Amino acid sequence: MRAEVWDEVRETLHDKVLEHLQESCADQRKSDQEICRVIREILVEYARDHPMDLEDRLQMERELFNSMRKLDILQDLLEEDTITEIMINGHENIFLEERGKIRRLNRHFSSEEKLADLVQQMVASTNTLVNESRPIADTRWKDGSRIHIVLPPVAVDGIMVSIRRFPRKGIGMDQLLELGSISEEIRDFLADLVRAGYNIFISGGTGSGKTTFLNALSEFIPGSERVVTIEDSAELRLTGIDNLVRLEAREAGMDGNLEVSIRELVRTALRMRPDRIIVGECRGSEALEMLQAANTGHDGTLGTGHANSTADMVSRLVTMVLMGNVSLPVPAILSQIASGIDIFIHLGRLRDGSRKLLEINEVLGMEEGQVKLSCLYRYEADAGEEVRGQWKRVNALQRRGKLQRAGMTEGSGC
C-alpha cells in the first residue's frame, strides 16, 4: 500500500475509532486494553470490504493505538536505536538521521493541530512550558533524548521540532574503531593518555560526535577514581566507575526554581574532592573554572566545545572566558589554556556522513604570545566521491612526564 493511501486509510479508521469511543464514553476513561479492543473491532469491520494481510493489519493496529495513546507516527521511530535525530518542519515534513545519513520520511502528521497536541504531550512530563508567549523550548526526556521546539509565528512554516537521541548503551572505543572513526593505533594512544591523566579537550562542529567520543574516551578512566561529570543536559553514560557523581545544570523555572549554571557546578565539583572533572560541553564563562581546575592538580580533566578547528577552539576558549566579565588580559587567558590543556582532539563529519577523528594536537606551551600546537595525528582523505583515507603520524609526543609518572614510558600508543 502506497504511503499516501496508507495515511488516508489510517485517518479514516482513526475517525471511526474516535466516533465509537465517543458514543460509548469519553476516551480518557478507557483503558489501553479497551482502546485496543475497539481498534481491532473497527479493523475487522473494515477488512470485510477492504482485504488487508496480517502484517498490514498489525501495523495499522499499532499506529492507531500510537496516535491515541502515544506519540503517533513518532513512536515507532523512537524505538529504533539506529535513528539519532528526528527533525520536524511542520506537520508534512519529517526528516531522519540514521547511521549518519539524513533522509525524508514518507509519512506525515494528519494536521498541524495534531502536531501541536503532540508537542504538548512531549513536554508534559518535563515540567516545560511552550506556547505563543514562550514559543521556544529546550527540554529532555528521561531516556536522555533532547527536544528543541519552536512554535509559530517564530517558526514561519509551521511547528519545528528537533529530537536528538542517544544510544541506550554508550558507544565504546572498539565500536568507533569498527565504524572507522579511529584507528587501532590511535585508540591505544588515547588509552595511555587518559590513564596517565592528560587533560584532553575535544572540539568539533555540530553533529561531529563530541559527546559520543567523550563517552568512549571515559572508558579508559581507572575505575578506582572519583569522577564528577558536569553537563547542561545529562547525556554521558559512563560505565565501570563506582565513585561517580553526575551534575546537571538547570534553567530558572516558572515555579520559582533558581538557575544552576555549569559555571556554578564546576565550582561545586572542586569541593567534592574529585580525581577527575568531565565537562560535557563548554559554551560560556564556565571555561575559566574548567581551566583553573586543570591548572590546580585535577589531572585527567576532559571537556568538549564547538569549533571548526583546534586553532578556532583555542580562540573560542578565550572568548568564553571573557564572557564571564573577568578582568584577565588575553595573554593571561592563553597562558591558562597552554598550561591547563595537554591535548586537543578535533572531530569532523565528512561528506559521506561519517564521523572521524581528524587531528590530535599536543600543546607545547606559549610561543610569541600564542598557544603552540604540535600535530601528532592527522586524517588524510583521498580524492574522490567515496571517502577513503588513513591516519598519519605527524610528530611524536614530546611532553611525556605524566606517562612516566604513571609508569607507562613504553606505552603501546605513545
Pick 386 or 379 by higher pLDDT.
379
In a domain, 411, yes or no: no
Domain boundary among 10, 42, 68: 68
C-alpha cell at 255: 515555579
Buried b (16+ CB within 10 A) or exposed e, 82-119: ebbbbbbebbeebebbbeeeeeebebbbbeeebbbebb
Which residue segment(s) compose the domain that 356 sits in?
Answer: 173-405
pLDDT for residue 25: 57
pLDDT band with cut points at 50, 70 and 90 for residue 197: very high
pLDDT band with cut points at 50, 70 and 90 for residue 403: very high
Average pLDDT over every residue of 42-53:
81
Residues 278 and 188 in one domain: yes
Can you tell me the distance from the alpha carbon of 414 to that of 370, in angstroms, rounded to the nearest whole number?
26
What is the average pLDDT value for the chain, to the nearest integer? 87
Spell out the long-range contacts of 283-286 with Cβ–Cβ below 8 A and sequence spacing 24 or more.
283/232, 283/320, 284/320, 284/323, 284/324, 285/320, 285/321, 285/323, 285/324, 285/325, 285/326, 286/230, 286/261, 286/262, 286/320
Structural contact between residues 317 and 305, judged by C-beta atoms closer than 8 angstroms? yes
pLDDT for residue 27: 46
pLDDT for residue 341: 97
The helix/strand/coil state of 390 is strand
Residues 195 and 299 in one domain: yes
Q: Taking 70 as the threshold, does the pLDDT of residue 124 lie above it?
A: yes
Structural contact between residues 301 and 250, judged by C-beta atoms closer than 8 angstroms? no
Residues 247 and 221 in one domain: yes
pLDDT for residue 334: 97
In a domain, 410, yes or no: no
pLDDT for residue 410: 47
Beta strands in 286-394 (DSSP E): 302-306, 343-349, 355-367, 370-381, 389-393
Q: Which residues pair with 370 in a beta bridge?
A: 367
Q: Name, in order, each residue with C-beta under 8 angstroms of 222's C-beta and a sequence gap of 6 or more.
A: 195
Pick 19 or 50 by higher pLDDT.
50
pLDDT in tens, 318-332: 999 999 888 899 999
C-alpha cell at 353: 556522513
Residues 140 and 42 in one domain: no
C-alpha cell at 45: 469491520
pLDDT for residue 162: 96
pLDDT for residue 21: 65
In a domain, 222, yes or no: yes
Average pLDDT over every residue of 105-129:
89
pLDDT in tens, 360-372: 999 999 999 999 9
Q: Name, in order, each residue with C-beta under 8 angstroms of 375's C-beta and a sequence gap of 6 or more.
A: 359, 360, 361, 394, 395
Residues 180 and 84 in one domain: no
Residues 97 and 235 in one domain: no
Domain boundary among 114, 144, 165: 165
Pick 337 or 13 by higher pLDDT.
337
Residues 75 and 62 in one domain: no
Residues 206 and 349 in one domain: yes
Residues 11 and 90 in one domain: no
pLDDT for residue 22: 65
Average pLDDT over every residue of 18-45:
70
Please report, as a single letter, which amino acid is at residue 81: D
pLDDT for residue 223: 92
Q: Taking 90 as the threshold, does the pLDDT of residue 176 lie above it?
A: yes
pLDDT in tens, 48-62: 888 888 888 888 778
In a domain, 64, yes or no: yes
In a domain, 414, yes or no: no
In a domain, 367, yes or no: yes
Average pLDDT over every residue of 4-19:
73
Residues 327 and 395 in one domain: yes
CA 359 to chain centre: 21
Q: Taking 70 as the threshold, does the pLDDT of residue 409 lie above it?
A: no
pLDDT for residue 19: 72
pLDDT for residue 370: 96
pLDDT for residue 237: 85
Residues 219 and 302 in one domain: yes
Q: Taking 90 as the threshold, does the pLDDT of residue 100 lie above it?
A: no
pLDDT in tens, 71-95: 888 888 988 888 989 999 999 999 9
Domain boundary among 16, 40, 68: 68
Pick 27 or 351 by higher pLDDT.
351
pLDDT for residue 414: 64
Q: Name, in order, each residue with C-beta under 8 angstroms of 51's C-beta and a sequence gap of 6 or more.
A: none
Counting the structural domains of the chain, the total is 3
CATH number for the domain harbouring residue 119: 3.30.450.90
pLDDT for residue 87: 97
Pick 307 or 5 by higher pLDDT.
307
Q: Taking 80 as the threshold, does the pLDDT of residue 35 lie above it?
A: no
What is the percentage of the chain residues whose pLDDT exceeds 90?
Answer: 51
Residues 187 and 153 in one domain: no
pLDDT for residue 384: 67
